[in-house]
Structure 1
């Protein structure tokens, strides 16, 4: 099922200036389009639309050990609460933590890379409030964290 994610502002990269009026069409685990909300809903009648307050953009790569928590699953979810959808391979030395990351489709990278929303790329998105706190995280097209 396709979903349009729309927010007050959108960034294509983490360093990009936020722009108003854009939304992201996600199909499966991929970004299918970036256009205005009106264009996307006209082109895809009946598409599910998720509207977010804040700034929507690519989910960042977490460059460090995963946050502490009682279990590997909770450590991965602590990562989602920070808006991250990828982690460096060097920080997944524990087999149970690596398995939890795989089950939750966290991207495991050999080296850090700039996060970007790219048509055809993996749909890893995050919505941040002005204070930098994460409102929502989408990993491979799946909503994995939402704060009300």
Structure 2
């Protein structure tokens, strides 16, 4: 099925000129066309249309998945938050008190991947050693990449964070890939007027995340 995703503004990748009323035509798990909505809608009138507010960009990349998913525990809301609180738990001493098992790590990682998808993240880097955690990442749809160095352009420390903009000077530094015909259909939409405002307002403004052509997060 063909699906046409359109937003107030489209930014196809780092350095790309913003396109007001831009759209991405998705065929299966790939991008078929990128251009003005009026042109694509006229050429493919039977495509399903999804209209989004804000800016549509490539999906985002987060580094340090091993630290985020195998050395940080995310309490199960609402079952554990009354006792443990809602904040992620890290540090050897704190984790030792939780008597972590592989199964518990896997459940925690599933909760964390949902938080990442809700921030427009489509890929993570890191070396995962806990089988249940690795399985959770793969099943989530996120692309798992080897560990990578921080971008040379970043001026802040690239500490592991669920926030893909942590340590970034521009939103474009967090983009994973570009939006062009033939590339995998993985992108996100944020309730922000442009990429510059997106960096200031943050990734929690994400309204939709698409991976392999599938809508894996949609703000309710």
TM-score (norm 2): 0.61
Native 8 Å contact 1:22 1:34 kept in 2: yes
Native 8 Å contact 2:64 2:147 kept in 1: no
Native 8 Å contact 1:14 1:60 kept in 2: no
Native 8 Å contact 1:2 1:27 kept in 2: yes
Native 8 Å contact 1:3 1:25 kept in 2: yes
| Cα drift, residue 15 of structure 1 | 5.1
| Cα drift, residue 124 of structure 1 | 0.8
- Aligned residue number for residue 212 of structure 2: 140
- Aligned residue number for residue 36 of structure 1: 36
2:144 corresponds, among 94, 101, 108, to 108
| Cα drift, residue 145 of structure 1 | 0.6
- Aligned residue number for residue 47 of structure 2: 47
- Cα shift readout 1:96-122 (whole Å, capped 9, x = no counterpart): 121112122211122558531121111
- Aligned residue number for residue 119 of structure 1: 181
Matched residues, number: 147
| Gap regions ≥5 residues in structure 2 | 77-106, 149-174, 193-200
More strand by share: 1
Residues 111 and 3 (structure 1), Cα distance of their counterparts in 2 relative to 1, 3 Å cut: farther
More helix by share: 2
Comparing 32-41 and 59-68, the one that deviates more: 59-68
Residues 79 and 53 (structure 1), Cα distance of their counterparts in 2 relative to 1, 3 Å cut: same
| Cα drift, residue 18 of structure 1 | 2.8
Q: In the aligned structure 2, how far is the partner of 1:15 from the partner of 1:134? A: 21
Query: Which structure has the bigger radius of gyration?
Result: 2
Q: In the aligned structure 1, how far is the partner of 2:191 from the partner of 2:45? A: 29
- Aligned residue number for residue 129 of structure 1: 191
- Cα shift readout 1:30-71 (whole Å, capped 9, x = no counterpart): 111101112212221221110000100100111133475342
